[in-house]
Structure formats: C-alpha cells, structure tokens
C-alpha cells in the first residue's frame, strides 16, 4: 500500500518518504514529527465507518495539540 501511494505522489512530482513504524500511534507519530526533519505532518482520514472516523478524529486532534510542526488533516 505504501509503495502504491508513493508512486502516485512521485508521478505528480512530489518528493515522498515513506516510513513504517510500530508502537502507540500517537507517541510514535509525535516522536517522528518532532524529530526536526519535517516541515509539515499530513494525516489522512477515512470515511468508511463511524467508529473508524471517531478513532481518526481522536488521533488527529491529539496530533494537532502535541506535534510541534504544522498538521494538515485530509
């Protein structure tokens, strides 16, 4: 899945780095985003189910309030 998404962005001329990590979602993303190497954190949101939306809303909200760089939720 990551390779497919990377190809889409690369074909559009956008430089992409894909990273796969394990661990607590909030802590792992915050640690990586706050490493100082990134200018913007882009977080995707699915619209498949109410439960999934609730979980992503909670994670997105947490990231907005705890990550030092700007966060874009799409």
Which pLDDT band holds residue 30 (cuts at 50, 70, 90)? very high
Per-residue model confidence (pLDDT) at position 52: 55
In this predicted structure, the answer to whether residue 49 has a pLDDT above a threshold of 70 is no
Per-residue model confidence (pLDDT) at position 16: 85
Tokens of 52: 């999934």
């Amino acid at each position: 899945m990551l390779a497919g998404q990377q190809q889409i962005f690369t074909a559009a001329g956008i430089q992409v780095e894909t990273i796969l990590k394990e661990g607590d979602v909030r802590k792992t993303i915050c640690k990586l985003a706050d490493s100082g190497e990134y200018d913007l954190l882009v977080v995707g949101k699915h619209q498949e189910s109410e439960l999934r939306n609730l979980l992503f809303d909670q994670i997105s909200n947490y990231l907005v309030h705890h990550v030092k760089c700007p966060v874009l939720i799409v």
